[in-house]
Amino acid sequence: MEAKFDKIRSQANSKLENVKLYARTLLAIEETIREQNAALTPSAYFGAIMTTLQATSADSDIAGALVYLLNDVIGSLPQAVVRSKFNDIMHVLEVVYEHHKDEQPVLRSVVGCLQELLVKQDANAWSMPITKKAFQMLLLLSVNTSVKARKAAHDAIRVILSSPPPPTAQHPAANATADFVLRVLHETNKNDQHAAQQILSLLQSIVAYWPANRFTVLCQTLLQLPKFNNVFLTKSAFEVFEALFDVQETDIEEEKFIALLKAIGDIKPSAIDERLLPSWLLIISKAYPAYSKMNPEQCAAAFPAVFATIFNDFQQESRVFRQMADCLSALIEYCVTPNMITQAAQGQQNGLTDIISLVESGLGVHYQAAWTHVMTVQQALFRKLHRTSAPLMDGCVALLGELRLASADSYKESLDKTLGAAITHMGAEHFLGILPLNLEGTDANHVGRAFLLPLLKTYVTNTNLGYFVNVLIPLGDRLATKGQAAADQGLDLQAKVYETLVNQIWSLAPRFCDLPIDLCSAFTETVAERFSSLLYSQPEQRPNVAQALQYLIEKNQTLAKSSASDKDLQAAYGITQSQANQNIQHMSKFAVNYLAVFFNVYSQIGAGHRGFLNEVIKSFLSIATAEDINSTFKKVLGLLSQALENPSASTAASNDPSVPPPMSYTMLDLSVIMVPFLDPESMQLLYNGTLTSLINKEDEPALQKKGYKILYHLMQTPSGRQIGLQNIGELQERVLEATPTCTIGARKNRVNALRGIVDLLPSSDLHFIPAILSEVVISSKDSSEKTRNAAFTLLVEMGNKMRQGGTVKSSKLQGFDETAPDTVANIGEYFTMVTAGLAGTTAHMISATIVALSRIFFEFKDDLSPELVMELLQTINVFVGSNNREIVASALGYVKVCIVVLPDEMVEPQLEAVVSSLVQCSHQTRNHFKLKLRHIFERLIRRFGYNKIHTLVPEEDKKLIANIQKRRLRAKRRKALDNQEDSDEEMMEEGAAREMAKKTGAGFHDAYEEALYGSESELEGGSDDEVLQNVKTALSKVSNKKKGLPQTFIREGVDDTPLDFLDRSALSRITSSKPVERKKQVLAKSAEYDDDGRMVFKESDDESDNDSDEEETEDYYMQAQKSADGFVRTQQNKIKFKKGGQNNDFDDNDAMDVDQGAAAKRKKKAKQQFEMIGKEFRSKKAGGDVKKKNQSDPYAYVPLGKVTKKGRKGPKITYTGRLKR
C-alpha cells in the first residue's frame, strides 16, 4: 500500500486530471489524519476515507477518487476489520456504483474493493444475502460493455473462486457462478450473442473451479453454440473446451465423455477453415489424452479413427498443416499404449498398424503439399515406437531414402530430421540395413549414400558398438587402402575423396561410444589397441578417439548415478544401473595402459591443442585404482625432476602453440590434472616440490605460473586443505618470501592461490591478510581482467574473514617489533588497513586503493558504522579534485557507488561537498570525464531534485546543471510522446517493474558492476528494455563460449562460387568473426595514365583541394542561411545574428529538442515532395477538375521549350510538377 501511495503522491502535478485528483485526495486524507495526531496506518486511512465517503455526495468526482484509494487500503486491513465493516463498505459501494455506472475507472475501483471484501469472508458469511448480492454485482460487471471493467471483474471472480474459505474445497459461490453463466448461454439467440462471447471469456478462466456435477450440462450447452454460425462465438466455445480438458479432474462419466468426444468430432470444421480448425484441433489434442487417462484401452481403440480423419486433410490445400501435425503428434504421444506397440511388433493388426500405413502413404504424391508436416508426424511416431520402430517403420524409411536422393532442396531439412529420428530410435545397424552406404562403388546399380555419414554423426546414440567395430572400421580401412592406391597413381582428387570418407567414418566413433548397449562384448583388447595406435599414428583422429573413450566412461557413470528405476532405464536406454557399473568396471581394466598412451601423446602435442586430452585423462583417472594412480604419478614426478635438473631443456620453449613445450611444462600440466585424484602422500610430495622449487623461479615465469596453479588446485581438495592447515605457518612464510619474485604472468594464479590460503587461516592469527593486502590492491588494477576479478574476489574473502573476528598478530608483520600489540579483527579494522594505501607514493597505488575500497564498500556497507562511511566519503571526495586522471577516474567510481547504494540521509550531509568536488573536477579535467560527471549529476538530480542541486552549484557553473536538466526534460518529453496512449497507472506499474529490474541488477555480471556501470544515464538513446535485451544478447554469447558452442562463420568468395570443403584452402575462409560484405568504394576521380599506359601520381592534388574548398564554402554558406545560429546582413551591410539558437553550455553536440526535431523532420520530408500543377482544381469526390469560385479556369498553358538547363542551381521544374521548397 505504501509503495502505491508514494507513486500516487508524486502525481500531484500530473497533466491527467483523474490522476491529479487521486493524488490531491490522498494528500487531503493524510492531512486530516495528521490533524487528529494519528499515525498513517491502514486503519487510519480506512476510517478517514469511509468518513469522507459517507459525507460526500455520491455523484461527485471526489467519490470516485475515494473509492480508488479505498481499493488500495482494503487489501492491507486485518481480516477481522474487513468482516466487521462489510455492511458499511457495501452500502457505500452500491451508492457509488449506481451514480458512476458509465465511468470505467470508478467501476474498476469498485471491482477491486469487492474482490478484497469477498476474498476475506468466511464460509458463514457466504450464506448471507448481502454477500451474495456483492458477488452478483461482480457477475453483472463480467458482461459490462466497458472492456477494462469487464476484464477486472473476470479476474476478481477467478481470484475469489480460487480461494475457497476453509474448510470447504469448492467455493460456495461456484454454483451461483455456474447458474449465471449457463443462464446467459441459454439466453443466447441468433440476434444477440455479444453477452455469450463475454461470458465465454470468463468461463475460460474459471473452468478449473467449475462445480464437478455441472460439467455435463456445460458441455451440452457449449455444443449448441456452433449452430449460430458465428465464427468468433464458436472459436470461444472451442477455447473453453480446450481449458476444460486441461483440468485434471473433470468428473464426467465415461459414457458421457465418449458422447462428448463424438459430438466434438461431428462439428469438425473444414480443412480450409483457418479460424475454427486450429481451435478444434487443440480440443482434440487435449480431449483424447484426457480420455486416455480415464480409459487407455478404450481410447486406443477410438482415436485411430479421428487420427485418420485429420490426416486425410493433408491432401487438401490448407494453411493449418502445422496445427494438424501438432495435433496428430500429440495423439501419438499420449494415446498409443504399450499393448498396441507390443501387438503390432508381434504382427497383429490393430489401430497402430493402420496409423503406420496411413503415415507411410503420406509420402505419396497426393500429400506432396504437406510433406514437411507429414514428416513431423513420422518423427513423433519414431519417438513413440523407439526400438520397436524396427521393423514396423521399415517401409517408411525406404521411402524417405528414395525421396532424399531425388527431392528438392525445400524438403531436405525435414527429410534429414526424419531420417535422423529413424537413426536414433531404430539403431544405426538396422537403419543402414535398409539404406546401405554403398561407399565402395563395387556395383554400379547400388546408389551411394555418403550423405548419411553426417546424419549418423549427428543422430547415432545408445546403439550397438559392435556394428562400428565389425563393419564400419573395416570399411574405413578398405577405403583408406583405395585412397592410398589412388594417390600412388596420381589421382589426387579421388584420393582426397577417399580420405574425406575415412575421416567421416572415424568421426562416428564418439556417437557409437555414446552409451552403447554392448560395450563389454564389443570393446575388446583388439579394439583398445586399435584406438591406441590411432592416437599415436593419426593426429587428425585424436580428438574423435579421445572423445569416444571419454563417452564410454562418462555416460555410464551418469547412468549409474541415476535415480530412475531399472525398468525405466531398460525401456529408455536398454541398460540398467548394474549393467552400467559392469561397463565401468570393464573400462577400468584398460585405465593404466590408456593413461600411459595419453601421457605420451600429451607430451607430443602443443600446449594450445591439448584440451581434448585433459578431459579424457580425468575420465580414466576417475575409474583407475589408487595404486595405478600413485604409480603413474610417481613416474610423472620422476620425469619432472629430470627435466628440472636439466635447465637447458626446460628453457627451450617456443612461441608456436603447435610446438610441444618442454618436458617440465608438460609434467606440471599433467600434475594439475591429477591433483583431485591423488592420495595424501602423493599430494604431500607435490606440495613440498611446489613450495621449494617452483614459486620462487623468477627466471622461469612459466614454471612459476604453473607452480601457483598447482598450489591453488591443492587448496581446493580436502586432502590438500588438510596439508595446508598442518603447515600453515611455513606456507604463509614461503608465499610471502616469494612476493618480490612474482612475475606478471603468474599474478592471476598467485592471487587465486592466496585466496585458498586465506580460507585456511585460523582466526587466532590473521596477520597474513595485512601482509598481502597491498599486493592484492595493486592486482585490482591489473591489465588482465581475470586478474582483476580474482583480486576483487580475494578482497571480499579477506573482508569476510576479518568480519568473522579473530586476532591480527602485528608482531609478525614486517616492520613491527615483537612487542607490537595484537589487533582485534573486524570489518572496520579491515577498512583501516585498506585505506592506508591512500598514502601511497604513486598515483597508481592510490587509484588501486580507491578501486579496492569501492568494491569492499559495496560488499560490506551494511556492516560499517555511519561515522566510518562518512569519513570514507569525505576522504575520497578530496581525491575527486585531484589533478591526476587515474586517481580521479577511481574516485568518481567510488562516489557513484556511494550515491547508488547509500540512503539519502547519509549522502545528504555530504551533498554540498560532493557537488563542489564534482564541479571542480569538471574544470580541471575539461572534457575527459564529461560523461561520467554527467551521469553522476543525473543520479543526484533524480535523488535530491533539480532545485537542491542547482542551489549547491556555483553561479558560474549553473549552466552545466541547467543543460543536464534540459536534457532530462527532453528525454521525458520523448518518453511521453512514445507512451501518450498509455494510462498513467500503467506507466507507474511499468516504471516500478523497470526499477525492480535495475535494483536486481538484471543482465550484469554482479550487483557491484550494475551499481558502477549500469543505468549510467537516463538520457541515452535506447530504452531500459533495449539495454537489458542487449545485455542478455551479450551474456548469451558469453554463455555460448563457456559451453563451448562454436562461433564460426564462412567467408564467401567474391565470385559467389560455392566453398569446396575438400580444398585445403577452405580453412582460410573460416573465421570466428561474422564477415561483413565490403561495399564497393566509388572513387571520386579515377587514376590518370600517360601515353605508355602507366599510372601517374601527382605530388599534390591542388585541383581536388580547390574543388572541395569551393564545395565546402558553398555548404558553409547554406548552413549559415538555414541554421538556427546563422546570421544575415542588413540593408546597411551589417551582420545580424539570428535569434533562437540553442545553448551549448555543456555539450556542443547536444541532440535537438523534441519539438525542433519534429519540425526538422517535417522540413526534410517536405523537400522530397512534389506539388502537382493543377492540384488546387482537383475534385474531392468525382474524377477530373472543377471550376471554383473566385479562381481561374482549371487549365494552364505550359511552354514546350526546354525549361531546365544542366548544372544550373535552383529548384528543378518538370512538365508534371514543381519541386516544393
Among the residue ranges 98-102, 593-597, 1000-1004, the one predicted with the least confidence is 1000-1004
What local confidence, expressed as pLDDT, does residue 167 receive? Answer: 84
Measured CA to CA, the distance from residue 201 to residue 976 in angstroms comes to 33
pLDDT in tens, 195-237: 888 899 999 888 888 888 888 788 888 888 888 888 888 888 8
pLDDT for 655 equals: 66
What tens digit of pLDDT does each residue of 768-809 get? 999 999 999 999 999 999 999 999 999 999 999 999 999 898
Q: Is the pLDDT of residue 917 over 60?
A: yes
Q: What is the share, in percent, of the chain residues with pLDDT greater than 70? A: 79
Residue 1150 has pLDDT above 70, yes or no: no
Give the model's confidence band at 374: pLDDT under 50 very low, under 70 low, under 90 confident, else very high: very high
Q: How many residues does the chain have?
A: 1221
Which is higher by pLDDT, 570 or 1184?
570
Predicted confidence at residue 1124, as pLDDT, reads: 46
Q: What is the pLDDT of residue 969?
A: 85
Classify the C-alpha dihedral 6-8-9-10 as positive or negative: positive
Peptide bond into 167 cis (omega under 30): yes
Q: How large is the average pLDDT for residues 562-577?
A: 93
Residue 1026: band (very low, low, confident or very high) from pLDDT cuts 50, 70, 90: very low
In 720-840, where do the E strands start and end?
807-808, 823-824
Would you place residue 1120 in the very low, low, confident or very high pLDDT band (cuts 50, 70, 90)? very low
User: Is 1166 or 162 the better-scoring residue by pLDDT?
Assistant: 162
Asked if pLDDT for residue 653 goes beyond 60, the answer is no
- The predicted pLDDT at position 92 comes to 87
Contact 660, 603 (CB under 8 A): yes
Pick the more confident residue, 1053 or 723: 723
Average pLDDT over residues 391-409: 90
Report whether pLDDT(523) > 70. yes
Q: What is the pLDDT of residue 1027?
A: 36
pLDDT(46) > 90: no
**Confidence check: pLDDT of 1065 > 60:** no
pLDDT for 1099 equals: 44
- DSSP per residue over 1069-1136, as a string? GEESS---PPPPP--SSPPEE-TTS-EE--S--HHHHHHHHHHHHHHHHHHHHHSTT-EEE-TTS-EE
Lowest-confidence range among 484-498, 573-587, 613-627, 968-982? 968-982
Q: CB burial class (10 A; 0-12, 13-18, 19+) of residue 1129?
A: exposed
Whether the link from the prior residue into 391 is cis, omega within 30° of 0, is: yes
Check whether 1062 has a pLDDT greater than 60.
Answer: no
For a pLDDT cut of 90, what percent of the chain falls above it?
48
Banded pLDDT at 595 (limits 50, 70, 90) = very high
Q: Which helix (H) or strand (E) holds 28?
A: helix 17-35
Cα(115)–Cα(109) distance, integer angstroms = 10
Q: What is the distance between the alpha carbons of residues 75 and 8, in angstroms, rounded to a whole number?
A: 17
HEC sequence for 606-625 = CHHHCHHHHHHHHHHHHHCC
pLDDT at 932 over 90: no
Rounded to an integer, the average pLDDT of 265-278 is 89
pLDDT tens track for 16-28: 787 888 888 888 8
Report which of residues 498 and 253 the model is more confident about.
498
Predicted pLDDT of residue 575: 94
Taking 60 as the threshold, does the pLDDT of residue 604 lie above it?
yes
pLDDT at 990: 42
- Helices and strands, number each (H, E), in the chain: 60, 10
What are the tens digits of pLDDT across the range 448-472? 899 999 999 999 999 999 999 999 9
Q: Which of 30, 47, 28 is nearest to 85 (CA)?
A: 47
Read off the DSSP letter of residue 1203.
-
**Residue 1057: pLDDT band with limits 50, 70, 90:** very low
Segment 111-123 shows an average pLDDT of: 90
Measured between alpha carbons, how far is 844 from 850 in angstroms, rounded to an integer?
A: 10
For the stretch 680-704, what's the b/e string if a residue is b when 16 or more beta carbons lie within 10 angstroms of its beta carbon? eebbbebbebbbeebbbbeebebbb
Task: Label residue 901 exposed, middle or buried (CB < 10 Å: 0-12, 13-18, 19+).
Answer: middle
Across 413-442, average pLDDT? 93
Does position 560 have pLDDT exceeding 90, yes or no?
Answer: yes
Instruction: Tell me the residue type at 691.
Output: L
The predicted structure's pLDDT at residue 613: 94
What is the per-residue pLDDT for 1142? 42
pLDDT tens digits, one per residue of 838-871: 998 899 999 999 999 999 999 999 999 999 999 9
Q: What is the mean pLDDT of the chain?
A: 82
Give the mean model confidence (pLDDT) for residues 1180-1196. Answer: 64
Neighbours of 188 (CB within 10 A): 21
Instruction: Over range 478-495, report the average pLDDT.
Output: 93
On whether the CB atoms of residues 781 and 848 are closer than 8 A, the answer is yes
25 touches 62 (CB < 8 A):
yes
Nearest to 662 by CA among 682, 681, 646: 646
pLDDT tier, 1 (very low <50, low <70, confident <90, very high otherwise) = confident
Grid cell digits, residue 158: 477467478
**Higher confidence at residue 993 or residue 652?**
652
Reported as a pLDDT band with limits 50, 70 and 90, residue 1068 is: very low
Model confidence at 1176: pLDDT above 70: no
Cβ–Cβ under 8 Å, residues 1044 and 1037: no
Identify any residues that bridge with 1088 across adjacent strands, giving them in sequence order: 1096
